[in-house]
Amino acid sequence: MTFDLASLGWDDAYAAVFAPVNRADARPGRVTRVDRGACTVISPNGAERATFAGTLLAAARRDPVALPCAGDWVVLRAWPDRRTTVEGVLPRRTAIVRSAAGTTSHQQILAANLDAAAVVEPVDPEPDLGRIERMLSLAWASGAQPLVILTKCDLAADPAAIAAQIGEIAPRTPVYAVSTVTGDGLERLRPFVAPGRTLGLIGRSGAGKSSLVNALAGATVMGTQEIRRMDGRGRHTTTYRALIPIPGGGAVLDTPGLRGVGLGVDDTIDGLDAAFDDVATLAARCQFGDCRHLGEPGCAVADALAVGELTNRRLESWQRLHREIAVETRRNDVRRMADERARWKRKAQAQRPRGVRP
């Protein structure tokens, strides 16, 4: 079986990065899914399972984002005993990164190398503006083209009105209203899954992501079934991140339903301000650079609030997310310092003379 990687976005620029590491037993591949300790990859040979090379695992111990994630282009190595390992990850062009849940402060990559990142939100129950704003910030921070897909439009009397309302909190972002029941609006999403292009979906559980994947991939979902058979598991697709090739070229990357989405550290601030371009632009016009928009003279934000050009809800949402990033950044710094101390301690222990017991 041969698979044309160009349909999944392999191009000259990736090939140029791959060339120096290419050897007789090496080949490129794209990760469709990661399970504990291994991943499923599409290579020129089709779908196959691969474990992680020791060097990769060592790098991941220092920083978990070094591990492959769905959407990554990787260097595969074939071993004489028919095993395949992932030797390295090609630099990611775009990535959706969130702060992992729990008390640790590690970053988690949900999806890599997306051309477009869609925030998926249903019309029913009523769309949650705060959730859309938060996910749009992640989408902007990813470097991919952000969009909003409003699902289950067959359940709304006036989906266009809801789309327009969401348009107001999504500056410079197209909003697509679709229904997988009637098929309405699906054709307008086709360009995002054209050959070589990857569309990523983020949204809460039940938002309609899987239904969308099935609708875009066609009734058979050839690729998905094939890959699922390869790794011998019967689990439902959305319990893990999965890149699904679209027959005819292109791919959709379905992420698991997100409950809490932490925005992460410093480098998401640009994404946040892009998602809140309207507010950030106003704030930049305030007379004082450190204006807190609490009654200072020459406050452009206060002026916009007064004339109804900006809502309190939107301002507070932006400020809350900024505070969240600041807190997360501090937590991350503390963790990094602790990691650093632990590394030095290990080094010192390793350098102790052999045979000498303390």
Question: What are the phi and psi torsion angles at 35 (to 5°)?
Answer: -115, 175
- What does the alpha-carbon distance between residue 173 and residue 280 come to, in Å, rounded to a whole number? 16
Partner from Zn ion, ligand GTP, none binding residue 291, C-beta < 5-8 Å depending on class: Zn ion
Give every CB contact of residue 233 below 8 A, 6+ residues apart in sequence: 35
Partner from ligand GTP, Zn ion, none binding residue 85, C-beta < 5-8 Å depending on class: none
Joined tokens for residue 353: 């003379």
Examine residue 241 and tell whether it contacts ligand GTP (CB under 6 A): no
Place of tokens 């679709």: 178
- What does the alpha-carbon distance between residue 133 and residue 320 come to, in Å, rounded to a whole number? 11
Examine residue 181 and tell whether it contacts ligand GTP (CB under 6 A): yes
Cβ nearer to ligand GTP, comparing 183 with 247: 183
Q: Cβ distance 209 to 242 under 8 Å?
A: no
The least CB distance from residue 325 to ligand GTP, in Å, is 25
Binding residues for ligand GTP, how many (CB under 6 A)? 18
Question: What are the phi and psi torsion angles at 158 (to 5°)?
Answer: -135, 75
Partner from ligand GTP, Zn ion, none binding residue 76, C-beta < 5-8 Å depending on class: none
| Pairing verdict, β 73-78 and 84-89 | antiparallel
Q: Cβ distance 157 to 213 under 8 Å?
A: no
- What does the alpha-carbon distance between residue 358 and residue 348 come to, in Å, rounded to a whole number? 13
Partner from ligand GTP, Zn ion, none binding residue 206, C-beta < 5-8 Å depending on class: ligand GTP
- What does the alpha-carbon distance between residue 10 and residue 4 come to, in Å, rounded to a whole number? 9
Examine residue 206 and tell whether it contacts ligand GTP (CB under 6 A): yes
Residues annotated within a binding site for Zn(2+): 286, 291, 293, 299
Cβ nearer to Zn ion, comparing 37 with 289: 289
Joined tokens for residue 272: 């946040």
The least CB distance from residue 285 to Zn ion, in Å, is 8
- What does the alpha-carbon distance between residue 18 and residue 30 come to, in Å, rounded to a whole number? 13
The least CB distance from residue 67 to Zn ion, in Å, is 42
The least CB distance from residue 346 to ligand GTP, in Å, is 39
Residues annotated within a binding site for GTP: 151-154, 203-211
The least CB distance from residue 173 to ligand GTP, in Å, is 20
- What does the alpha-carbon distance between residue 45 and residue 50 come to, in Å, rounded to a whole number? 13
Count of helix runs (H) and strand runs (E) in the chain: 10, 13
Binding mask 282-311 for Zn ion (x = CB under 5 A): ----x----x-x-----x-x----------
Q: Cβ distance 130 to 158 under 8 Å?
A: no
Partner from Zn ion, ligand GTP, none binding residue 78, C-beta < 5-8 Å depending on class: none
Cβ nearer to Zn ion, comparing 193 with 291: 291
Is the preceding omega at residue 125 within 30 degrees of 0, hence cis?
Answer: yes
Binding mask 113-152 for ligand GTP (x = CB under 6 A): --------------------------------------xx
Examine residue 248 and tell whether it contacts ligand GTP (CB under 6 A): no
The residue from 208, 223, 262, 271 that contacts ligand GTP (CB under 6 A) is 208
Q: Cβ distance 68 to 278 under 8 Å?
A: no
CB atoms within 10 A of CB 291: 19
Cβ nearer to Zn ion, comparing 92 with 293: 293
Examine residue 183 and tell whether it contacts ligand GTP (CB under 6 A): no
Q: Which residues bind ligand GTP (CB under 6 A)?
A: 151-152, 154-155, 179-181, 203, 205-211, 238, 256-257
Q: Which residues bind Zn ion (CB under 5 A)?
A: 286, 291, 293, 299, 301
